[in-house]
Structure 1
């Protein structure tokens, strides 16, 4: 008995893209941007306290000595580093001479030939995936460097 091909247990090509390193980089870049945007009002509050007077600022700075706040500062450094590196990745992908923009006449494989791959797909894909992994590692290293300097 053969199964229905429409209900294959394999993931469709479109769905499998959601589990790729590029999609992970997309999600991490957007999420880190949202977290940085949520941080800004708190940052402006602290700057406003500095204007109000020295006593208010000193009380806020004393509050920041708590371990939970120190951990949040570490997270902020990691999020900022991640957003910066993944943003540079986006610029690299947009401006580098590869992919569809570099070869508009050969950008899509011929559908009549099933084993034909996209030109420069392996070189560009390897560099992009290396950039994603390297960005995550550098962001975590920046965070660990920050926390080592704080402690």
Structure 2
């Protein structure tokens, strides 16, 4: 097997919906992990006193923070969908309509984020 053929096969596999589901699941997991220290810091504001918490809550009313909250909901929904997908791959045999389920999981993630965003703004 030549190196060129292996590279072409590798690039073709990256255009498969399952690869993108894998990538979204991994990236959402990393981004959620990076968010956790900020979340714990924000919770710590409540322990620093009422003034510190009120100042933080006023800061969260900014449009960019509201957008980031919506993005966070999208990340959570995408990560949940990816986790369910992995569980189904492990325990169920539904290979024939796997692409449809991937599309439904993506649609659910976007719908959850939009519903949250429209409710917040």
Shared fold, TM over 0.5: yes
SS in 1 for 2:107: helix
Q: Structure 1: any 5+ residue segments left out of the alignment?
A: 1-5, 99-122
Runs of 4+ in 1 over 4 A off after TM superposition: 6-9
Going by fraction, where is helix more abundant, 1 or 2?
A: 2
3-state DSSP of counterpart to 2:14 = helix
Pair 127,65 (structure 1): closer, same or farther in 2 beyond 3 Å = same
1:15 Cα offset (Å):
3.1
> Greater Rg, structure 1 or structure 2?
1
In 1, distance between residues paired with 2:16 and 2:65? 34
Structure 2 unaligned blocks of 5 or more: none
The match for 1:108 is none
1:65 maps to what in 2?
A: 61
1:23-102 residue pairs with structure 2 within 5 A?
23-96=19-92, 98=93
Alpha-carbon distance, 1:52 to partner: 1.3
Q: In structure 2, what is the equivalent of residue 120 of structure 1? A: none
State the distance in 2 between where 1:45 and 1:14 align. Answer: 41
> Residues 52-101 of structure 1: CA distance to partner in whole angstroms, max 9, x if unpaired?
111100100000000000000000000000000111000000111x3xxx
Partner of 2:117: 147
* Normalised TM-score (structure 2): 0.90
The structure with higher relative contact order (CA 8 Å, sep 6+) is: 2
TM-score using structure 1 length: 0.73
Alignment root-mean-square deviation, CA: 1.8
